[in-house]
Amino acid sequence: MTRADVAQAVRNPLAYIAERWTPTQRTVQRAAFLSLAMTVVIVVTGGAVRLTGSGLGCPTWPKCTEDSLTATHEMGFHGVIEFGNRMLAYVLCAAVGWAIIAARSQKPVRRSLTRLGWTQFWLVMGNAVLGGIVVLVGLNPYTVAAHFLLSTALIAVAATMWQRTREGDGEPRPLVGKAVAQLVWFLVAASALLIAVGTVVTGAGPHAGDSSDVPRMNLAPIGLDWEGVTKLHAVLAWIVVTLTFALWFVLKAVDAPPGPLARTRDLFLVLLAQGAIGYVQYFTDLPEVLVGLHMFGSCLVWIAVMRVLLALRERPVAAVGDAPVRADDSQLSAV
């Protein structure tokens, strides 16, 4: 490597890599999927931190203790769990970084895809800072809820990038009518509200995230208690299920393409599984394992909702690498 190469690599490392490497389309797709999968993993492990009472296993931030960057032997199990979750944030950053590099190195350059990668990066950075604030304020339930909601936004961007790796960059062509698209946007809004109210259920519920007493959300000013907001959450869940079933029925009636139908069917199945877990955990006094599964299910529901939204249009197939890109159902089948 010449001195000029070193200077270029230091000045603009992404451009330097892009000039010397062209990833295959499959590599870019896998990189985007990895960033999405790691986002879900860190949400679930964050839930494990709370459910094991390890939220203050590292009592300060950015260090684990005032005198140590890492968990110490004296901190025991809770310190290991909390510090391990912090370390996974670096794995997530690496996954997002890999997705950015792969997207930036595609030929021809797809700036929209690269922007989605950078959006993920800044959301990760923002959520890392917010996670530190959560610790510094002693697991205040409102900051915990904001931490989860920002992760939900990150999942939406990651899911969009994953889908975009299977599309071209031409103008989107709608696959359904305007009325169907409006119904889907109602579904998206209802799903977002469902998740938001779910954070209130968590913030007012018994799993505070620490073995000591942590204040919970006070719902009295709005005339609700934990039971009341839980029932509201259940009502919203049934609204989302009803909208999903109505969407599937309408798509069948208008003879919609198989993509939107398949994505709607997937969402309906995920919602049924998530609802079953929700009711079982409610009637069994919120066992930690089921609460953790419900958090994982929340991520899957949101991904499935985003996939329905993104399935309503198609973009012209773009030839990238050795073969044309085509968004077939086999590529989109697994999350």
Asked whether residue 166 falls in the same domain as residue 207, the answer is: no
pLDDT the model gives residue 214 = 83
pLDDT the model gives residue 2 = 67
Residue 23 falls within a domain, yes or no? yes
Asked whether residue 155 falls in the same domain as residue 105, the answer is: yes
Asked whether residue 188 falls in the same domain as residue 103, the answer is: no
- Last residue of some domain: 152, 171, 190? 171
Q: Which long-range contacts (CB under 8 A, 24 or more apart) does 215-220 make?
A: 215/140, 215/141, 216/141, 217/141, 217/142, 217/145
What CA–CA distance (Å, rounded) separates 240 from 267? 10
Residue 102 falls within a domain, yes or no? yes
Asked whether residue 22 falls in the same domain as residue 143, the answer is: yes
Asked whether residue 30 falls in the same domain as residue 139, the answer is: yes
Asked whether residue 159 falls in the same domain as residue 241, the answer is: no
- Last residue of some domain: 123, 152, 171? 171
- Last residue of some domain: 110, 141, 171? 171
Residue among 162, 160, 86 at smallest CA distance from 124: 86
What's the token pair of residue 180? Answer: 């169907």
Asked whether residue 150 falls in the same domain as residue 281, the answer is: no
Q: What is the pLDDT of residues 217-250, one digit of tens each?
A: 888 777 778 888 999 999 999 999 999 999 999 9
Q: What is the pLDDT of residues 43-97, one digit of tens each?
A: 999 999 988 888 888 889 988 988 888 888 888 888 899 999 999 999 999 999 9
pLDDT the model gives residue 10 = 60
Residue 326 falls within a domain, yes or no? no
Whole domain around residue 141: which residue ranges? 14-171
What CA–CA distance (Å, rounded) separates 247 from 242? 8
Residue 147 falls within a domain, yes or no? yes
pLDDT the model gives residue 277 = 95
Question: Would the pTM of this model clear 0.85, i.e. be above it?
Answer: yes
pLDDT the model gives residue 44 = 94
Low-confidence ranges of the chain (pLDDT < 70): 1-11, 211, 317-335
pLDDT the model gives residue 334 = 35
Residue 328 falls within a domain, yes or no? no
Residue 323 falls within a domain, yes or no? no
pLDDT the model gives residue 9 = 62
Residue 329 falls within a domain, yes or no? no
Asked whether residue 162 falls in the same domain as residue 31, the answer is: yes
Q: How many domains does the chain have?
A: 2
Asked whether residue 166 falls in the same domain as residue 261, the answer is: no
What CA–CA distance (Å, rounded) separates 29 from 154? 17
Residue 41 falls within a domain, yes or no? yes
Q: What one-letter code names the amino acid at 101?
A: I
pLDDT the model gives residue 274 = 95
Asked whether residue 181 falls in the same domain as residue 221, the answer is: yes
pLDDT the model gives residue 3 = 65
Asked whether residue 112 falls in the same domain as residue 33, the answer is: yes
**Helices 178-204 and 141-164: crossing angle, nearest 10°?**
150
Asked whether residue 257 falls in the same domain as residue 296, the answer is: yes
Name residue 54's beta-bridge partners.
210
Residue among 299, 194, 157, 187 at smallest CA distance from 251: 187
